Structure 1
Amino acid sequence: METGDPLVTADWLKQNISAPDIRVVDATYYAPFVKAEKTGREEWAESHIPGAVHFDIDAIKAGGTDLPHMLPDPIMFSSRVRKLGIGDGNRVVVYDNNNFCAAARVWWMLRVMGHNDVTVLDGGLNAWKAEGGELEDMPPVAVERHFTARVRSDLVKDTAQVAAASESRSHGIVDARPAGRFTGEAPEPREGLASGHIPGSMSAPSSGLINPDGTLKSVSELKGLLPDHDAPIITTCGSGVTAAILALGYARLGNWDVAVYDGSWTEWASDPSRPVATGAA
């Protein structure tokens, strides 16, 4: 059973980065519609925490679907992370340079695949630099390790499961998208998708969980932002990335069993037969 804080500080990482079982992972990612000047991988190549490998959620993903960065099967996942030098017995610390996007997603992916010894660097790369941490631009030489996948299916939900939860109210469904997209007042960034929300879901924009300095808000603040702290929860967003930020926040409150709707709104709204609610929750 997972306990404690899912985050570590930059000071902690500085003190422990040389430990032989520590693996640092840069998960920086920018959605295509953001139109960032550089990709996450390009930023990593220019400057990263020493020894950090880059985990690209658009490369380590399921095939055979038009949905973005869906969770791959355990065989494919194991093969890819082994080549990054991540394996059994490692303590993994994930960070990014974009307000937990997609460090929280990679944290969740590793936990789905049974690797519980994973934390997220609070404040990401900026916190590391503020702490005086060194940077490098050379890619590390990753030594392949054995990774044993033990899939936790309870941490990931598909459309049928979400539809059932929406109808039965067996789980709280919490949406990480901006409020305007949730209510239907603002358009979706993905062309052809209507805005709105899954009937019965609640709005908790992931941006509200993050302090101006890029750290996650305190436990007391999160309690006022995340609904139904102790209830069974499914988080959703546009494509399953910022939903993981909510899952990270719930874990900080002690609810480690929050599931992510992998296909999220991109999958839900792509089928016109699925119900779409608008307005406030």
Structure 2
Amino acid sequence: MGQQFPDIVSVEWLRDHLDDSTLVVVDSSTHLTLPKDGPYSVEPGRATYDSAHIPGAVFADLLTDFADPDSAEAWTAPASERFAAASGALGIGDGVRVVVYDQHDGYWATRFWWHLRLEGFDDVAVLDGGLPAWKAAGAPVTDTPVSPTPVTFTARRRDDLIRSTQQVRDAIDDDKTVLVNVLDPATYRGDTSTYARPGHIPSSINLPVARIRDPETGLLRPVTELRALFEEAGLLDPGITPVTYCGGGIAATGVAHALALAGRDDVAVYDGSLTAWTADASLPLTVGADPR
């Protein structure tokens, strides 16, 4: 892949490199509300970006510019040409490095991290802890608008990093693939659900995305702890390919990112996830505990 940039950077690192002319900082904030009952709702984070963002950061709207306008599911990955145009407009292209963050739990940032890698751009890192960690460290924020200089983004789609519904269906009985549901255990078991039908995709294991972060600091756990977590789940076995999924393909990228830190940069994401899967009544679901 030729990656020269780490998959994660600290607040201290970004503060020291904020004036680097080859660095593009991206705020990918999006506001997702998950009620206990009923469908989820989502809103772009432009207003919160306008009120306070890291100095020099540009805003990436994952609901419009970086989404397929013709998809039934929100924020589905668009055609490479659309993604390339939107990235180039933000100043993302050859010869730059990207640090992406969001204003919540970091999974919209990992979504953009994954999406850039999907299109062949590897020099992208996630700001550990996002804007909350930046503010907690006393680092500056601003409401000053940013006008990026457009560049050319060359998309090189890596189809191995994304899965369609049909591909996931075919993988249910594939012993070379491990489907990983990253939602909470109750949703995994089908005790509760905000999707069309409760349960999980047959043969998938449960590894809640909450387990990759320190609940007190919001930062990712040390790589040694992540490796132990993934080793226990069998996800570091080079003979298998992990495919992560969640409700709509957002939190799934958080586990994919953590797996990359642990040495697995080949993890695929089921883009439609349960939103797409449960909408098709012909597709099977399992209700109950982890099959393993």
Pair in the same fold by TM > 0.5:
yes
| TM-score (normalised: structure 2) | 0.90
Give percent identity, aligned residues only.
Answer: 36
Cα RMSD over matched residues?
1.8
Matched, 1:250 2:259: yes
Q: How does 1:6-45 map to 2 (within 5 A)?
A: 6-33=7-34, 39-45=44-50
Q: Determine the C-alpha separation between the residues in 2 that align with 1:84 and 1:222.
A: 32
Structure 2: gaps (5+ residues): none
Distance 1:163 1:196, change over 3 A: same
Equivalent pair of 2:191/2:198 in contact (CA under 8 Å): yes
Q: For 1:38-88, what per-residue CA distance to the aligned partner results, in whole angstroms no more than 9, with x for missing partners?
A: 852211110000111111211120122211110010111111111112111
Distance 1:164 1:53 in 2: 39
Q: Does 1:127 align with 2:128?
A: no
Counterpart of 1:79, as a letter, is A
CA displacement 1:172-221 (0-9 Å, x = unmatched): 11111111111001122x4xx11110111011111221212121111222
What's 1:220 paired with?
Answer: 224
Q: Secondary structure of the equivalent of 2:243?
A: strand
Residue 247 of structure 1 aligns with an amino acid whose one-letter code is: A
Matched pairs, number: 278
Which amino acid is the alignment partner of residue 12 of structure 1? W
From 171, 187, 195, give the equivalent of 2:193.
187
CA offset digits 1:225-267 (Å, max 9, x no partner): 3322233110000000000001011001000000000010111
Q: What is the Cα deviation at residue 130 of structure 1?
A: 2.6
Question: Does the residue aligned with 2:173 lie in a helix, a strand or coil?
Answer: helix
Which residue is 1:278 aligned to? 287
For structure 1, the 5+ residue unaligned runs are none
**Comparing 130-139 with 100-109, which one deviates more in the overlay?**
130-139
> SS of 1:24's equivalent?
strand
- State the shift of 1:138 in Å: 1.5
Q: Secondary structure at the match of 1:225?
A: helix
CA distance in 1, matches of 2:174, 2:275: 22
Which of the residues 205, 209, 215 maps onto 2:208?
Answer: 205
User: 1:36 and 1:14, CA in 2 relative to 1: closer, same or farther beyond 3 A?
Assistant: farther
- CA contact under 8 A between 1:99 and 1:210: conserved in structure 2? no
Letter in 2 for 1:256: D
- Give the residue type in structure 2 aligned to 1:17: L
TM-score (norm 1): 0.94
* Counterpart position of 1:146: 152
Distance 2:43 2:242 in 1: 34
